[in-house]
Amino acid sequence: MATTDIGTIYAGALRNTRALEKQGLEQMERQLSGLERYPDYAAVLRRHVETTKVQLDRLDTALEAIGESRSTLKETVTSVAGSIGAAVHATAQDETLKNLYAGYAYQYDQVAAYRSLAVIAERAGKSDQVAFFRAAVEEETRAGEAIAALIEPVTKTYLDLTLSGAKADS
């Protein structure tokens, strides 16, 4: 049985987290074009797009610090997966609601990923990076809470639009 060292685990966790952030960024940017009827939702996504870009920069810095670069293959695969997910939701009658639910779940997936990454970084002796990952936990938690606060109002707007015969989705 082959052994894996902590440096390899840390590098893999950084690449995985970066790929997930990139996928999330692409999904948020795609969703923004169809949210003109949901300005509060769009505002939350716009803010989180900027936060995600900062997080990607932090992950790039951490990767560079260990002599690694982002994984183009993994990024391509997750980007395609993100595009497929968005395309599937786009065919649904309730696209906006499904994207909202997926976004809510995604934020907590990221909370878990960053909490784990902080532990791995600490074990790998990269204590200088731990604060960045802990900050990301807080940022993702705030984004999740902001999305949670939108579930009822966005659902009400969706219902009002749909029941009045207006276009509710992009």
Q: Please enumerate in sequence order all residues whose Cβ is within 8 A of that of 35, keeping only pairs 6 or more positions apart, or say none.
A: 41, 42, 45, 96, 170
Q: Residue 73 — pLDDT band, cuts 50, 70, 90?
A: very low
Query: Does residue 160 surpass a pLDDT of 70?
Result: yes
Residue 152 within any structural domain of the chain = yes
Is residue 111 scored above 70 in pLDDT?
yes
- Residues 30, 35, 38, 42, CA torsion sign: positive
- pLDDT of res. 2: 60
Position 169 in a domain: no
Residues whose CB falls within 8 Å of the CB of residue 45, separated by 6 or more in sequence, listed in order: 28, 31, 32, 35, 103
Please tell me which residue, 76 or 7, carries the higher pLDDT value: 7
The model's confidence at residue 104, banded by pLDDT at 50, 70 and 90, is: very high
The residue segments making up the domain with residue 140 are: 6-163
Give a yes or no: residue 1 inside a domain: no
Q: Which CATH number do you get for residue 150? A: 1.20.1260.10
| Banded pLDDT at 70 (limits 50, 70, 90) | low
Residue 108 lies in a domain: yes
92 domain-assigned: yes
What's the domain count of the chain? 1
Predicted TM-score (pTM) of the model is: 0.84
Decide: residue 50, CB within 10 A, 0-12 exposed, 13-18 middle, 19+ buried.
Answer: exposed
- Any domain includes 38: yes
Residue 168 lies inside a defined structural domain of this protein: no
